[in-house]
Amino acid sequence: MRARLLIPVTAREMEGKKQRLLVLYASQTGNAMDVAERVGREAERGGCSSLEVQSMDHFDPSSLPSESTVIFVVSTTGQGDPPDTMKVFWRFLLKRNLGSSWLEGLHYAVFGLGDSGYLKYNFAAKKLDKRLQDLGAKSIIEKGLGDDQHPSGYEGALDPWLMSLWKTLNHVNPTILPEMSEILHPSMNKLEHPKFKIMYHASNEVVQHDSHISDLKDMKNVIERARSMSPSLHGHDHGEPHYLLKMVENKQLSKGDDGRDVRQFVLEPLASVVEYQVGDVLEVLPGQNPAFVDAFIKRCKLDPDSYITIEPWSGERDAVDSYVNGSSDHPIQLRTFVSRAMDVGSASPRRYFFEVMSYYASAEHEKEKLQYFASPEGRDDLYQYNQKEHRTVLEVLEDFPSVELPFEWLVQLVPPLKKRLFSISSSPLAHPNQVHLTVSVVSTMTPLKRRRYGLCSSWLAGLDPNKTEEELVPSWIHRGTLPLPPPMLPLILIGPGTGCAPFRAYIEERAMQNLVESTAPILFFFGCRNRDSDFLYQDFWLAHSSDEGVLSEEKGGGFYVAFSREQERKVYVQHKIREQSARVWELLNAGAAIYLAGSSTKMPADVTEALEEVVAKESGVSREAAARWLKTLEKAGRFNIETWS
Known binding-site positions for NADP(+):
498, 564-565, 570-574, 606
Beta bridge partners of 89: none
The rounded distance, in Å, linking the Cα atoms of 395 and 417 is: 16
The annotation places the binding site at: 27-32, 75-78, 148, 420-423, 454-457, 498, 564-565, 570-574, 606, 644
Q: How many CA atoms lie within 13 A of 26 on its CB side?
A: 27
DSSP reduced 3-state for 629: helix
Cβ proximity of 170 and 45 under 8 Å: no
The annotation places the binding site for FMN at: 27-32, 75-78, 148
CA nearest to 527, candidates 502, 501, 509, 500: 500
**Other CB atoms closer than 10 Å to residue 322's CB: what's the count?**
14
DSSP reduced 3-state for 595: strand
Beta bridge partners of 265: 250, 437
Cβ proximity of 378 and 339 under 8 Å: no
DSSP-H helix ranges across 24-172: 31-45, 87-93, 123-134, 155-172
Residue 452, exposed/middle/buried by CB under 10 A (0-12, 13-18, 19+)? Answer: middle
The rounded distance, in Å, linking the Cα atoms of 39 and 375 is: 15
Cα of 569 vs its chain's centroid, Å: 35
Cβ proximity of 442 and 454 under 8 Å: yes
Residues in the chain: 645
**Other CB atoms closer than 10 Å to residue 39's CB: what's the count?**
23
Phi, psi of 594, rounded to the nearest 5 degrees: -100, 130
The annotation places the binding site for FAD at: 420-423, 454-457, 644
Handedness of CA 558, 564, 566, 570 (dihedral sign): positive
Angle at 444 (CA atoms; ends 439, 450), nearest 5 degrees: 140
DSSP reduced 3-state for 267: strand
The rounded distance, in Å, linking the Cα atoms of 367 and 375 is: 12
In eight-state DSSP terms, residue 166 is H
Beta bridge partners of 492: 523, 594
CA nearest to 23, candidates 61, 69, 88: 69
For the chain, the 3-state helix, strand and coil shares in percent, each to the nearest 5, are 35, 20, 40
Cβ proximity of 130 and 163 under 8 Å: no
Beta bridge partners of 423: 281
Question: Beta strands of 222-373 (E only): which ranges?
Answer: 243-252, 262-269, 280-284, 307-312, 332-333
CA nearest to 436, candidates 531, 545, 570, 540: 540
